[in-house]
Structure 1
């Protein structure tokens, strides 16, 4: 069986399985994005989260316990208010922690080139911690993720360690991160549609593709020459302008065939 046929079969098998996530369904804010990717021959999604605010009770030795073993006191994919957190905190017996977890998406790609397209779109959309993994038999996965998360302990052994005013402040920060998260998802979805549309057009018109590739090569050479002549200080100044200070290079991990 050739790789394309194998990928197609694997995709059908994976998408036909039941959703085993805690929620049991795709989050509302990423439904269209997930459906769009799954309709493309070269992609399918394996997991996703639109971003959420969590209140976890980690037990007495909380920071040594994995999230899967925690008690979920509160979880929402929408902005959160202080009263909801205060009520949920009353159920905590151990070390309660407030978290904001940003959008994450795992996509299996038919080939490395497809993953590189998604990676470029993700980085341009603000998800600068995204990376590509090539595993057994050339299976290629892209993880779209960001680093603008938040994790703050609120109680210890069931006792609240902060003021309600501070909780209100934290929620304002978390809600702002949620709003930024939503904007990045929308930007990623819009840019992805345009990128794949351009890719389809170049596949249909080989001469256009050849011209684009030639232009890209010359542009890349010019950019490399320009970058070589710039001082380190300017590069550092530009890096400080990034809101996440993430590494925007393509992160590709290659595993051996027997991995």
Structure 2
């Protein structure tokens, strides 16, 4: 008998599926990841726990990795335009203003080691090289599927104000698009593995 409690795992899968449907209904679910989530839910031995298709954020913080002393002032899961960013850069931050682009990330619960191993191989083929097992418990084998796509740019600090916003926005959108491309590849690779 394995470490994972099949009954507990199955109950959690049903709960997470209902939550996803509720998120769709209220408009909370990121639409770029919906088809992939359905594909994962349709597998017998895995289901998604959380997801993000990639995003552009502006964070007011001493350093972009400080969580407790940071405030997210802007967040978007689709390409940004210069005026959206410029209006926020004009306002003095409490600390420093950072633009942060992060690629897609999914947390998935697998029932078996075989399924977990297959998902990790598929993720790596899709360019999600920073994927791995986070934990193993009665609730499941918890995986993180993640790309290395990340971009952090200081936009404003003290007297410094970034003067090249047009170029910053262009590069941010390129990074976001690369992450979305890897998410699409993950869907395609998983679809191939499901047939």
Give the TM-score normalised by structure 2: 0.85
Evaluate the alpha carbon distance shift between residue 54 and residue 193 of structure 1 in structure 2; reply closer, same or farther with a 3 A threshold: same
Structure-2 residue corresponding to 1:141: 142
For 1:86 and 1:30, the matched residues in 2 are separated by: 28
- The correspondence of residues 10-89 of structure 1 with structure 2, limited to 5 A, is 10-17=12-19, 25-58=28-61, 62-63=62-63, 66-67=66-67, 69-89=69-89
- SS of corresponding position for 1:147: coil
Task: Say if 1:122 and 1:144, in contact at 8 Å, map to a contact too.
Answer: yes
For 2:155 and 2:122, the matched residues in 1 are separated by: 37
- CA apart distance, 1:69: 5.0
Evaluate the alpha carbon distance shift between residue 17 and residue 27 of structure 1 in structure 2; reply closer, same or farther with a 3 A threshold: closer
Structure-2 residue corresponding to 1:116: 117
- CA apart distance, 1:14: 3.8
- CA apart distance, 1:192: 0.2
Structure-1 residue corresponding to 2:193: 195
For 1:69 and 1:26, the matched residues in 2 are separated by: 27
For 2:122 and 2:68, the matched residues in 1 are separated by: 31
For 2:88 and 2:43, the matched residues in 1 are separated by: 42
Q: Higher strand share goes to which structure? A: 2
Evaluate the alpha carbon distance shift between residue 138 and residue 9 of structure 1 in structure 2; reply closer, same or farther with a 3 A threshold: closer
Gaps of 5+ in 2: none
Task: Say if 1:56 and 1:70, in contact at 8 Å, map to a contact too.
Answer: yes
**2:183 is aligned with 1:181:** no
Give the TM-score normalised by structure 1: 0.65
Q: Higher helix share goes to which structure? A: 1
- CA apart distance, 1:151: 0.8
When the two chains are superposed, the root-mean-square deviation of aligned CA atoms in Å is: 2.6
